[in-house]
Amino acid sequence: MSPDDAAVFGVRLAIITVGFVAGAVYLLQRQLSPVYGLSSFMFLAFVASQLVYIVETLWPGLPAVLHHGVHMVSYVAAFLLLPTFFIHLKLLSRVPEPITRNELAVHMTLPVTVFMLALVTMFIPSDSMAVLKADLSSPDVAPWMAFTVRTLLRLEFGGYAFVLIYIWLLFRWQRRNGTHMRTVFANGNSCETVWTLALAAVMAAYVAQALMSYFVRDAGLGHPVGPIQHSIIALLFILLVAIRGLQQAPGLYRALDSAGPVTHQDAPKYSKSALAGEHAARIARKLTAAMADDLLHRDANLSLTKLAQHIGSSPNYVSQTLNEHLEQPFFDFVNQWRIKEAEQLLVNGDETILAIAYEVGFNSRSAFYTAFKKHTGYTPTQHRALHGKVHQVTADLKKERQPARP
């Protein structure tokens, strides 16, 4: 085995290891939610998509029938990856979305088509398959055989368009999900956006290198992108998905589901709730105490579920109390307390605006300025100037003009 072949084998073995471990972890957590069973299936599909490369390296003399069978398993698994990944993403997001049967059918149309065609190729004799690999227009094979193999080859090229469609779906879902997340997560969707961009970048890199290889190889100019680059991109993708997925709290979404979905409608969403007026008032007092006494708003990663656990209530009851009793969504409720503390620190303290923003729970200067202007009508700098802190305003401006340290 040459050094290049060994490197490719090592990367692909790492892909299988990561996929298998992540799949096993999700499978062990399936009692928490059926979602984890689907997630484990996604990782195992990724493992299956890499099997043909491992088999070719370890068993180069494998009989043609078995080799073709493994190849078809990997081929079908590759088409299953993006649909199962997208469904995994929606169900394991901070604001999980149900998957309808019609939506599932749409996502599975191409993978099922590829599976049926791959199944048909298993009935093509080995000698006929060898002829087709050399010449698809050969008169020595039956037309249905040539049609099946030709369609599978065309679907391989169509698979790149398949990836582009899912990149678009990824951004479309992220844009819609960003607004929804504000009802359950105090700092919006910045982390989710960065993660989405990273995944989209890896997927786009995969499409770019695959298309480059396809056209350049077809023109007879060699292979501009070798198997090692292809394998590294696949490894980056599976690592991103596995790390992000395993970072999410295992019991979070079952708690949300058991409490009832958090949606944007007003009265209808709580129509079956047993939350009475006195109960809501008691939850409201606990929420106020959590902010005023426990300073929970300082937690930059504060979520609706975390707040509900802190006061000993359900996420749905907390959401209902905020929206109906306090007449504020979760995002605005938490930011109101952050701004309230920030107003005092801006007047009574000498810290920079950025330091105060982080101290009260914001994760960026821009988010702090936007929320402060929304709640007070002034920027933090204007607020300091209005209260006679001119010297501190000058210091803030000097601090902001300093070049960032490397």
Where in the chain are all domains bearing CATH 1.20.1070? 3-257
Does 243 or 103 have the greater pLDDT score?
Answer: 103
Q: What is the DSSP letter of 323?
A: I
Give the residue among 151, 264, 328 at the shortest CA–CA distance from 307: 328
Q: What is the DSSP letter of 405?
A: P
Instruction: Tell me which long-range contacts 373-378 makes (C-beta under 8 A, separation of at least 24).
Output: 374/335, 375/335, 375/336, 375/339, 376/339, 376/343
Q: CB–CB of 207/163 below 8 Å?
A: yes
Mean pLDDT calculated for residue range 306-318:
87
Q: CB–CB of 37/82 below 8 Å?
A: no
Dist CA 141 CA 125 (whole Å) = 10
Give 124-170 pLDDT, tens digit per residue. 777 766 666 666 666 766 777 777 777 777 776 666 677 778 778 77
Where in the chain are all domains bearing CATH 1.10.10.60? 260-401
Domain 3-257 belongs to what architecture?
Answer: Up-down Bundle (1.20)
Mean pLDDT calculated for residue range 79-104:
70
Give the residue among 182, 357, 352 at the shortest CA–CA distance from 264: 182
Q: What is the pLDDT of residue 253?
A: 41
Q: CB–CB of 290/311 below 8 Å?
A: yes
Q: What is the pLDDT of residue 294?
A: 92
Mean pLDDT calculated for residue range 368-373:
89
What is the pTM assigned to this prediction? 0.52
Average pLDDT taken over every residue of the chain: 72
pLDDT bracket for residue 256 (50, 70, 90) = very low
Q: What is the pLDDT of residue 259?
A: 39
Q: Does residue 390 have a pLDDT over 70?
A: no
Comparing 59-63, 147-151, 215-219, 317-321, the range with the smallest average pLDDT is 215-219
Residue type at 202 in one-letter notation: V
Does 119 or 129 have the greater pLDDT score?
Answer: 119
3-state secondary structure of 303: strand
Q: What is the pLDDT of residue 58?
A: 75
3-state secondary structure of 44: helix
Mean pLDDT calculated for residue range 1-28:
74
Comparing 2-6, 64-68, 181-185, 346-350, the range with the smallest average pLDDT is 181-185
**CA-based torsion, 255, 260, 265, 270: positive or negative:** negative
- Choices 1.10.10.60, 2.60.34.10, 3.40.50.300, 3.30.470.10: CATH for 260-401: 1.10.10.60
Query: Number of C-alpha atoms within 13 angstroms, CB side, residue 302?
Result: 26
**Residue percentage of the chain with pLDDT more than 90:** 8
Dist CA 13 CA 285 (whole Å) = 55
Instruction: Specify which residues 185 forms β-bridges with.
Output: 303
